[in-house]
Structure 1
Amino acid sequence: MYAVRLHAFGPAENLVHERVEDPVPGPGQVRIAVRAAGVHLLDTALREGVRGPLPELPALPTVPGREVAGVVDALGAGAPDGWLGKRVVAHLGHAPGGYAELAVTDAGRLHEIPGTLDFAQAVAMIGTGRTTMGILQFAELGPGSVAVIPAAAGGIGTLLVQYAKNAGATVIGLAGGPEKTARVEANGADLAVDYKNPAWPRKVRAHLGGRHATVVFDGVGGDVAREAVALLGPGGKHLVFGWSGEGLRDGGPYLVDGVSEQVLGPVMLGRAGGPDPMRTLELRALTEAAEGRLTPAVQRFPLAEAAAAHRALESRGTTGKVVLEP
């Protein structure tokens, strides 16, 4: 098969599209003929040798990627026969291997893809959608809510705009540049503003006419977060799930005592509850998409162009979830 491998930590050019041996599923595992593989900002940090929130860096050479969708084409010993030939999606956990034509994972990680979703949409919901469902556990959105969403043209931002609008909230979407703000507006935001324009907070305040934001969904950090938090009224929430504007490796998120709450990791999983909190959030995300309430935005690259996908993601030149297609 063909896969994208990383032989040395470093720039995007270190991602090499090459022939490797086909993986063989072990006991309780299945093999997936991959039709779509998700690309995450964390992948770019790992590529450079920064482990971020993961316990350790992968051993080299490695095939990056932890989100895949496709068709089960082989079963390991003890894997349920019913999975063979099914359209499935899975998050591989800490194990890499997604940027490939074939990937293996435990059968217990699989979800059958609802008939209404294509492979790329399913990949978007298993990763980005799962995180979105986790973040939304901390927000009580309704007709009186005013939600400010930085990076509103991104994968999570796109879903947050849709969910908040469905809940009846007033939605302020922030994005970088006219093309992205146009996408945010088309996605249903009440106001889409370009955060590259220093006057953007003034435009938001004028639109709100004396109202205050009730929640800021912040995956960006930096100056954009500072300006957004300043829009909050008494009792407002600043929900932090990333700080891509400052780089995943540097410092930490912008936080304000009594206002900010970091919602990733154990906090998110603890709120989801159940014997398998990750799976609970994955099922919620897939259900929201299958029933038409959420529609992920997807930007597709050929598998062989994984390096270009990384460069685009790092330069904020993407919209929606970035997906590789073999």
Structure 2
Amino acid sequence: MLAIRLHAFGPAENLVLEEVGDPSPGPGQVRVAVRAAGVHLLDTALREGLPGPAPRLPDLPTIPGREVAGVVDALGEGTPESWLGRRVVAHLGFNPGGYAELAAVDAGRLHEIPAALDFAEAVAMIGTGRTAMGILQFAGLGPGSVAVVPAAAGGIGTLLVQYAKNAGATVVGLAGGPEKTARVAANGADLAVDYTDPGWPAKVRAHLGGRTATVVFDGVGGDAAREAVALLGPGGRHLVFGWSGKGLHDGAPYLVEGVSEQVLGPVMLERAGGPDPVRTLELRALAEAAEGRLTPAVHRFPLAGAAAAHRALETRGTTGKVVLEP
């Protein structure tokens, strides 16, 4: 099979397309003929050899990628035969192997893809959608809400805008540049503004006409977060789930005491509850998409374009969830 391999930590150019042996599914596993593989910002950090939320760096050489969708074409010992031939999607956790034409996956991680979704959309919902569902547990959105969404053209931001609109909230979406801003407007935001324009907060205040924001969904940090938090009124909430902008504090989140709440990791899973909170959020995300309430944005690259996908993600040159298609 063809796969993207990393032999040395470093720049995106270190991701190379190679011919490697086909994986064999072990006991309780399936083999998936991959039709779409998710690319995550964490993948770029691991590629560089940087510490992050992963328990450890991968052993080299490695095939990156932790989200796959495709068709089951082989079964390991003890795996139910009913999986064979089914369209499936799975998050691999911290196990790599997704950037390839074939991937071995634990059957317990599989979800059958709803008929309404293609492979790339399913990958977007199993990772990005799952995270969005986790964040939204803390939002309390309703008809009186005013939601501000930085990075509203991104994978998570796109879903947050849609969900907030469905809940009856007024939605302000922030994005960098006219192309991304136009996408945010087309996605349903009541106001889409370019946060690279120094006057954007004044535009938001003028649009709200005396109202204040009730919630800021912040995965960016930096100056955009600081200015967005200043739009909150009394009792407003700043939900922090990332700091990709690396503006203030050398990449640390922008936090305001009594206003900001970090909602990643164990906090998110504790709120989800159930015997398997990760799967709970995955099921919610897939159901929202299957019923047409959420439509993920997908930025597609060919498998051979993995390096280009990483560069685009690192330079904020993407819109929506980045997906490789073998």
Cα distance per residue 1:105-131 (max 9 Å; x no partner): 110000000000000000000000000
Q: Secondary structure of 1:57's partner?
A: coil
Offset of 1:251 from its aligned partner?
4.5
Q: Secondary structure of 2:313's partner?
A: helix
Q: Secondary structure of 1:269's partner?
A: helix
Report the AA paired with residue 171 of structure 2. Answer: V
Aligned to 1:92: 92
Q: Are the aligned partners of 2:126 and 2:282 in contact in 1 as well (CA < 8 Å)?
A: yes
Q: Are the aligned partners of 2:243 and 2:251 in contact in 1 as well (CA < 8 Å)?
A: no
Aligned to 2:34: 34
Structure 2 distance, partners of 1:180, 1:171, is 16
Q: Secondary structure of 2:42's partner?
A: helix
Structure 2 distance, partners of 1:282, 1:104, is 20
Cα distance per residue 1:252-272 (max 9 Å; x no partner): 211010000110100000000
Aligned to 2:262: 262
Cα distance per residue 1:132-173 (max 9 Å; x no partner): 000000011011000000000000000000000000000000
Offset of 1:51 from its aligned partner?
2.9
Aligned to 2:127: 127
Report the AA paired with residue 7 of structure 2. Answer: H
Aligned to 1:10: 10
Q: Secondary structure of 2:108's partner?
A: helix
Report the AA paired with residue 228 of structure 1. Answer: A
Structure 1 distance, partners of 2:251, 2:64, is 25
Which structure 1 residue ranges, 5 or more long, are not aligned? none
Q: Secondary structure of 2:318's partner?
A: coil
Superposed CA RMSD: 1.1
Which structure 2 residue ranges, 5 or more long, are not aligned? none
Alignment of 1:32-71 (within 5 A): 32-71=32-71
> 2:82 aligned with 1:82, yes or no?
yes
| Larger displacement relative to structure 2 (42-51 or 155-164) | 42-51
Aligned to 1:288: 288
Structure 1 distance, partners of 2:241, 2:140, is 17
Alignment of 1:96-175 (within 5 A): 96-175=96-175
Cα distance per residue 1:33-76 (max 9 Å; x no partner): 00000000110111000131111000000000000000000100
Q: Are the aligned partners of 2:238 and 2:260 in contact in 1 as well (CA < 8 Å)?
A: yes
Report the AA paired with residue 313 of structure 2. Answer: L
Q: Would you say how many aligned residue pairs link Structure 1 and Structure 2?
A: 326
Alignment of 1:157-236 (within 5 A): 157-236=157-236
Q: Secondary structure of 2:135's partner?
A: helix
Q: Secondary structure of 1:130's partner?
A: helix
Q: Secondary structure of 1:211's partner?
A: coil
Moved over 4 A (4+): none
Cα distance per residue 1:263-314 (max 9 Å; x no partner): 0100000000000000000000000000000000001000000000000011
Report the AA paired with residue 272 of structure 1. Answer: A
Structure 2 distance, partners of 1:253, 1:59, is 29
Q: Are the aligned partners of 2:155 and 2:320 in contact in 1 as well (CA < 8 Å)?
A: yes
Percent sequence identity over aligned pairs = 86
Cα distance per residue 1:176-206 (max 9 Å; x no partner): 0000000000000000000000000010000
TM-score computed with the length of structure 2 as normaliser: 0.99
